[in-house]
């Protein structure tokens, strides 16, 4: 049994290179599934730069969905977690591609222990302004109101929210936008987990916590980041996008030629 973790791809029409990088990774996982019959892919939030409703259709989105459908058709278990950018992804969309939608967090029992998995934004408690925003947009009433708007109005709203977020983040100290370690300890204890995996902060690292260890997934930009969990190890790799373009490499050769950034023995 092998679990692959990716996060913070922020896929959009402005980054066709990242769209193709994900599709390339997906094809390698499909090939691997021919011999490995128990593969899992966890997309731990902010898969899309923004999501304004399941009725939003563009060719690049169709490409991604075809790739996701190919994964699930290859009997790969795909879990997609809500992030702070794509929390409007709906159950109907997930069912269409055969994926499981995780709206908050998930506790994975693996190798005789609980592993707590979440996007991570809920633990950034020092960013009070963001937490107030998060509380508002996660309410079903607010979401239904937004989804009832005409598509053009939703597109404008998403653009405005991204611009407001960018401006707000420019005015904040970096530490405010990181997770609160005491909150992390609380979440790990609450879920009886000695290992936690999350994204959101764009600060890939392995941290020691009171109850165990915490792996922060990297964000896709000039490189792709993939964490691989098997029965004995958890390893995060930093993969150059150019390397993903080499279609002669299978997933194992790709990882061998990539930088191993964090490693943990279970």
Domain boundaries, the chain: 2-265
pTM: 0.95
pLDDT in tens, the chain (266 residues): 999 999 999 999 999 999 999 999 999 999 999 888 899 999 999 999 999 999 999 999 999 999 999 999 999 999 999 999 999 999 999 999 999 999 999 999 999 999 999 999 999 999 999 999 999 999 999 999 999 999 999 999 888 887 777 766 655 556 667 999 999 999 999 999 999 999 999 999 999 999 999 999 999 999 999 999 999 999 999 999 999 988 889 999 999 999 999 999 99
Q: For the purposes of burial, counting CB atoms within 10 Å of the CB of 218, is it exposed (0-12), middle (13-18) or buried (19 or more)?
A: buried
CA-angle at 250, arms to 247 and 252, nearest 5°: 145
Residues with Cβ within 8 Å of residue 265, at least 6 apart in sequence: 232, 233
Domain 2-265 belongs to what architecture?
Answer: 4-Layer Sandwich (3.60)
**HEC per residue, the chain:** CEEEEECCCCECCCCHHHHHHHHHHHHHHHHHCCCCCCEEEEECCCCECCCCCCCCCCHHHHHHHHHHHHHHHCCCEEEEECCCCCCCCCHHHHHHHCCEEECCEEEEEECCEEEEEECCHHHCCCCHHHHHHHHHHCCHHHHHHHHCCCHHHHHHHHHHHHHHHHHHHHCCCHHHHCCCHHHHHHHHHHCCEEEEEECCCCCCEEEEECCEEEEECCCCCCEEEEEEECCCEEEEEEEEHHHHCCCCCCHHHHHHCCEEEEEEEC
* Nearest Cα to Cα of residue 134 among 90, 104, 175: 104
At 175 the pLDDT is 65
Do 83 and 119 touch, CB atoms closer than 8 A?
yes
* Nearest Cα to Cα of residue 30 among 72, 90, 61: 72
What does the alpha-carbon distance between residue 16 and residue 154 come to, in Å, rounded to a whole number?
A: 22
At 164 the pLDDT is 74
């Amino acid at each position: 049994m092998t679990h692959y973790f990716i996060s913070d791809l922020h896929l959009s029409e402005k980054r066709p290179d990242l769209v193709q990088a994900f599709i390339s990774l997906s094809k390698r996982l499909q090939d691997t599934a021919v011999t490995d019959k128990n593969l899992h892919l966890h997309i731990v939030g902010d898969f899309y730069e923004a999501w304004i409703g399941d009725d939003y259709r563009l060719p690049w989105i169709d490409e991604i969905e075809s790739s996701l459908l190919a994964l699930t058709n290859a009997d790969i278990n795909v879990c997609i977690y809500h992030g702070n950018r794509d929390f409007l992804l709906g159950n109907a969309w997930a069912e269409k591609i055969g994926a499981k939608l995780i709206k908050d967090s998930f506790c994975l029992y693996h190798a005789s222990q609980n592993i707590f998995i979440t996007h991570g934004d809920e633990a950034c408690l020092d960013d009070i302004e963001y937490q107030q925003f998060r509380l508002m947009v996660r309410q079903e009433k607010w979401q239904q109101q937004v989804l009832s708007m005409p598509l053009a109005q939703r597109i404008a709203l998403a653009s405005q929210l991204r611009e407001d977020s960018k401006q707000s983040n420019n005015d904040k100290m970096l530490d405010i936008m990181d997770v609160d370690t005491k909150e992390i300890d609380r979440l790990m204890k609450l879920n009886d987990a000695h290992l936690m995996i999350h994204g959101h902060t764009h600060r890939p690292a392995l941290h020691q916590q009171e109850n165990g260890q915490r792996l922060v997934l990297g964000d896709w930009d000039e490189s792709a980041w993939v964490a691989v969990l098997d029965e004995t190890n958890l390893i995060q790799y930093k993969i150059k996008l150019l390397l993903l373009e080499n279609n002669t490499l299978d997933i194992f050769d790709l990882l061998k030629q990539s930088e191993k950034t964090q490693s943990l023995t279970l």
